[in-house]
Amino acid sequence: MNIIAIDIGNTNITIGLFLDGKEQFIKSIPGSSRAELVSCLESAWQKVPIAENSKEKKRDGAIVVSSVKPAWTELITNIVRDSLGEKIYIIGKDIPLPMPTWLDEPDKAGTDRILSAAAAYAVVEDAVVIADFGTAVTIDLVDEHGVFQGGVICPGFEISAKALKENTAQLPNVKVTKPQGPYGKNTADAINCGLYYSVIGALEEVIRRYAEQIGKWPQTVITGTDAETIKDDCAFIDNFVPHLVVKGVVLAYQKYIEEKAASEL
């Protein structure tokens, strides 16, 4: 199975190349960098082998996308069509979600959340919490039967810092990093501590409440751009896995291919 797996987020577009199911590379690119996106996709597609017995020399692979930003879905669609002469397959539209959900409005849940959850559950095979630290912070629960139950959504570091800057007269904009201590000696450090520790505290509290709901403490996996910033101060998490959504895209496509093959027997 050869696949270019693409995770379109609110800030970055992450592209992963998998040949025979094995990861070759995963790269995050700002969605505004069209030239870099074109270069990365062209380079990745050239590595996909030509299909056997293909008279048209078509490559034996697929380009599969998860997206939370429709404008960038159109951007990637156009790049893939114009530069590669191919089409994309969209998770939730062309390819089913790889996990059942128990939600009020399942069609409105971000596919990135469910793909991350499916990738985590495929490894844990038990109740698991998936926390994704990006533009927004999502903390989701999968039960022991592999059903996506839902979760919480909070503002990410950048959004929170921007809100403080824009809604006060004198507070500066701060890029959140791991603090040197539990409190700041100046305004910028105080904001940094506040945003940093509030997210860690929220994560631990949400997991505790999930544990009370399901009767046991679930394993916890964190992912996303800002997850690496906080992971060393989260003794209650089990794993930090970069690019979990991309791995969920691969899982969804693999399940789709297997189910399609089985239905044709």
Catalytic residues: 112
Where is 155: in which H helix or E strand?
A: strand 148-155
Q: CA 260 to CA 265: how far, in whole Å?
A: 9
Q: Please give the distance of CA 104 from its chain centroid, rounded to a whole number.
A: 22
